[in-house]
Amino acid sequence: MTVYCPALFLSAPASGQGKTTITAGLSRYFKNQGKTVRVFKTGPDYLDPQILEQASGHPVEPLDLWMAGEADCKHKLYEAAKVADLILIEGAMGMFDGEPSSADLAATFGIPIAIVMDVKGMAQTAAALASGLANFRDDYEVAGLIANNCGSERHKQLIRDALPDSLPLIAALAREPEVTLPERHLGLVQAAEIRDELEVCIERGARWIEESGLTELPAPVAFDDAAIDVPKLSLDGVRIGIARDEAFTFIYAANVLVLEQMGAECCYFSPLHDTGLPEVDALWFPGGYPELHAPKLAENASMALAIREFFDAEKPILAECGGFMYMLETLTDLQGNTYPMLSLLEGHAAMRGRSGCQGMQTAVLPEGDVKAHAHHRSRSEGTPEPIGYGRRQRHPAPGESIYRDKGLTASYLHLYFASNSEAMAEVFLGGG
């Protein structure tokens, strides 16, 4: 059955144009009008979705044709369209960056694109750039241009007059530094750390949207469902403990849903604040910012002992990126301070500023291939021989190392469980 829901895809010529700020402002504006707003983020991202979740009041999931697959994306959009008054999708990087790109995703599902552009320092040139983006290919629809950082009514008029009739100026957003979202070395600051401050920014953003006149719902889009494979393996009766606190927050809601759909009971614990583990059969340490909380992690001796005993019992543990760093012997932060970690794996992790590794990879596990991505600003050294490497999306060089010892599987890779749910079930059952 086809369902219809107003939808808009916010893309841009590059990063840093204001997509997240505008998407958050739109989400909150329509939420304040009593609308149900469902928001998605293109590609792998943990930080922007936290902001957008607070703005919209609903979980924000990734849409990625390579990582999740077309059927998974189609199903998520369909389920959202059944309950939402508005669907917003925030693109990643520039409109045609990445394979697949934001333009590919919008074209696949027939969702009109609003081009978001920071127009500070240009006028007619903004129209030329927007026209180029709108006409680069013929397989997607562009709803128009959202001119961000517009200096005056005259500035707005110059852009509007230069645009072709086929490319309207949807809105011109005035320069407003008070809606800018704070950042750190991996991107935006986590929502939980600045919830009150962020709430003020989001509400200002909603007023900013209202003042711009960007207050009409976009046209309805048709959404159809897709058949999703049902996993054959079961996690019935398996309790999985998930590390979640200020240090470990990079958790896709879609990953938790996959585990629960297979019958697992998921519970949460804090390596920072708890003194021991809950009664569980397996552990999952996701990524996050352990480097910002290394002293407190190092001081929590009772938690470290409980995790080591769990490891020595050869029970299943999955550690991703920041979780992998926690498994090593030491962690050195950006200030050069070194702290002891769990020592479940040989090796040392150290932060290295802005340089790092990112990109899409397939985790080649004994249980099967799982789509994944890397995004980190640290390095590891002195680690044991890996059992394998990630396979890069389009480059022959080996990707991230994958380690296994007893029941522990550890890597810098962030895994997308739905890409191979049965392999992930085996990881948490310890049968690899």
Spell out a b/e string for 355-370, using b for 16 or more CB atoms within 10 Å of the CB, else e: ebeebbbbbbbebbeb
Asked whether the beta carbons of 124 and 159 are under 8 A apart, the reply is yes
**Position of tokens 């009109």?**
112
Task: Note the helical H segments in 262-396.
Answer: 294-299, 301-312, 322-327
Catalytic status, residue 321: yes
Asked whether the beta carbons of 372 and 362 are under 8 A apart, the reply is yes
- Name residue 348's beta-bridge partners: 330, 381
Asked whether the beta carbons of 105 and 42 are under 8 A apart, the reply is yes
Q: Which of 150, 201, 266, 321 is catalytic?
A: 321
Would residue 343 be called left, alpha or beta, if left means φ above 0 and alpha means ψ between -120 and 50 degrees?
left
Residue 65, phi then psi, degrees to nearest 5? -65, -30
Q: DSSP assignment of 248-293, as one string?
A: EEE--HHHHHHHHHTTPEEEEE-TTT-SS--S-SEEEE-EE-GGGS
Which of 289, 306, 290 lies closest to 298 in space, CA to CA? 290
User: Which residues are part of the catalytic machinery?
Assistant: 321
